[in-house]
A and B are shown apart, each in its own frame.
Chain A
Amino acid sequence: MAEVELRNVGQFFRRSGGALVEAVADVSLVIRSHEFVCLIGPSGCGKTTLLQLVAGLTPASQGQISVDGAAIAGPSPERGLVFQRDSVFPWMRTIDNVSYGLKCRGVEKTKRIEIARQYLRQVGLGDVERSWPRELSGGMLKRVAVATVFANSPRVLLMDEPFAALDYVTKLQLHQLLLTLWEQHRPTVLFVTHDVDEAMLLADRIVVMKEGRVVDDRKITLARRRTVESLALPEAVAHKEVLLRHLGLGELVQDRTAPL
């Protein structure tokens, strides 16, 4: 069980000129246990800020965030985060990266290496455990990050546009890998993206943000695993049209009169 609840959450920043910026404004949201939620919205809408608040990296200016009713107080391995940029430690070998969180929590060496090896094998990197990150490709580094976060057995998985910088094929491969791991371990997922297709492929639910506020929250009831065919069904197309219009891409949608 890991239900994430955000109640009237707000985050303000003061610009260098002194003006107050409302990055996240009065967001209330409940993400149910094991749910896969994609948070979508145009650049600068507050998605990443909201994710960092849930991760506990920065305290919220107002409101409360809780997991299973307990207010969060700072970061925790129970809420694993996969960053957009490469976060893998370049000074640690692959296996040491994957076992780092376990080491921090005092897991005995033999045990943590065994766990790390298991996840490295699962992400297809069993043969590079002694490699330095500099020897790995961008896609492999993301696999290391995914293996690392799952090795910590998080109850909540937070992902901040993790595959945004990858090529098309690698991105699709990682989607399948992520879904496999999610189906096995079933953490509650909050996945930030601005890619509508990615959100349609992965999510149980898509939450749309604009200017710091939640403006849409829709369930995606398409059967899993989704395929090219299922994503071309009328229900999927209807969702996609609305999402594209939220992102200011209404000109790509044929029926401009469809309600948001």
Chain B
Amino acid sequence: MKRTTAHRLTSFGVLVVLAALWQLASILMPYESVPGEPMIPGWQILVTRTFLSLADYWQGGLGVPSVAQGGPRTYAGAALAVLSNSWDTSLRLFTGLTLGVAVGLVAGLAVSWSKWSRRIVALPAQIIRTFPMLALIPMFQLWFGATFLGMALFVAFAVGVIFFTGTVNAVGNVSDIHVDYARTQGASRIQIYRSVILPAMFPELRSSILLSLGTAWTAVIAAEFLGAQTGLGQIIVFAQYFGYVGRMFLVALFLLFYAAITYALFERASRRLTEWMPRELATPDRYGAP
């Protein structure tokens, strides 16, 4: 059996075991958060009653009336609710992510232009990076309100800080010999950045990108906790008000699924971009993310 197939089967096996443990916990601990709402809902409840209840978040349209308008809870309504709220969350996430990556990368490269600017920003950047991100949410709310812009900017800030420090560090670790080699061949500074610094720093930047993806999902959900009218974070908040543990868990599973897809897509793109690297260094599951 190929190594990758064995690896995938093992991972799948672990997921099955975790799901079974959840089911076991639901049987062994039959407590309720509010009457009629189990604290640990089993899978038979999650995929039926709990999923159907998500239809409450469908605003109506496409031939499926909303529950608030007197329509019944249907699987179609639930699916549309999940899709529309996921779309809203994803839009905030990817707008913020794109903005944060762009600003963080450009600012990081600009600062890395000279040793002096690197020295000047090194300490402030470290301080900003350690600042508790969630403590900034109320501030962003006051500045921008519970708007698309405010939430996207919050994600951009969280991602941008990681990307900025990651870029500065990665540029600092690019081998001088490659820069000198390019200089002796007549490369201009811009050409050196484009053809030497960027590809050379990418392997090191991969860990920052993975961290940014995780942070972006956390940041967008956290931003939606406070006052958003749509989005997966908003469903979790409402579910918490009424003690609907099942809904919270189900939405968390959807988030897990989306995050896994973004990681997988990045890994695929990353494999192409690191095709030049020795395989043992480019395979993160063997030596950790290089």
Contacts and interface: CB of A to CB of B under 8 A. Distances in A.
A binds B: yes
A212 B183 CA distance: 25
Contacts of A79: 184
Contacts of B195: 89, 92, 100
B185 A134 contact: no
B185 A83 contact: no
Interface string A80-101: 1101010111111000000011
A152 B186 contact: yes
B186 A90 contact: no
A104 interface: yes
Interface string A132-147: 1110000000000000
Identify whether the interface residues of B are mostly helix, strand, loop, or mixed: helix
A92 B182 CA distance: 12
A124 B71 CA distance: 77
A56 B85 CA distance: 59
A100 B183 CA distance: 11
A190 interface: no
Contacts of B187: 100-101, 104
B181 A87 contact: yes
Contacts of A88: 181
Interface string B153-188: 000000000000000000000000110111111111
B277 A83 contact: no
A93 to B, nearest CB: 8
A225 interface: no
Given A87-B178, A89-B178, A91-B200, A81 B276 contact: no
A77 interface: yes
A81 B196 contact: no
Interface size class of A (residues with CB under 8 A): 20 to 34
B65 interface: no
Contacts of A104: 182, 185-188, 191
A134 B277 contact: yes
Interface in B226-267: none
Given A87-B177, A100-B195, A104-B191, A57 B183 contact: yes
A133 B186 CA distance: 21
Given A85-B177, A104-B191, A90 B277 contact: yes
A75 interface: yes
B199 interface: yes
Interface in A46-71: 55, 57
A76, A91, A105 pick with most chain B CB within 10 angstroms:
A91
B200 to A, nearest CB: 7
Nearest to B202: A91
B275 interface: yes
Interface in B107-142: none
B185 A89 contact: no
A148 interface: yes
B278 interface: yes
A132 to B, nearest CB: 5
Contacts of A75: 180, 183-184, 186
Contacts of B182: 89, 100, 104
A111 to B, nearest CB: 16
Contacts of B178: 87, 89
A57 B184 contact: yes
Contacts of B185: 77, 80, 100-101, 104, 148, 152
Contacts of A87: 177-178, 180-181
Contacts of A57: 180, 183-184
A101 B275 CA distance: 23
B277 A77 contact: no
Contacts of B200: 91
A110 B270 CA distance: 30
Contacts of A91: 199-200, 276
A101, A104, A132 pick with most chain B CB within 10 angstroms:
A104
Interface of B: 177-178, 180-188, 191, 195-196, 199-200, 275-278
21 contacts: A57-B184, A74-B183, A75-B180, A75-B183, A77-B184, A79-B184, A81-B180, A83-B177, A85-B177, A87-B178, A89-B182, A89-B195, A89-B196, A90-B277, A101-B185, A101-B186, A104-B185, A132-B275, A132-B276, A134-B278, A148-B185
Given A88-B181, A133-B276, A134-B277, 6 more contacts: A74-B183, A75-B183, A81-B181, A89-B178, A89-B195, A104-B186
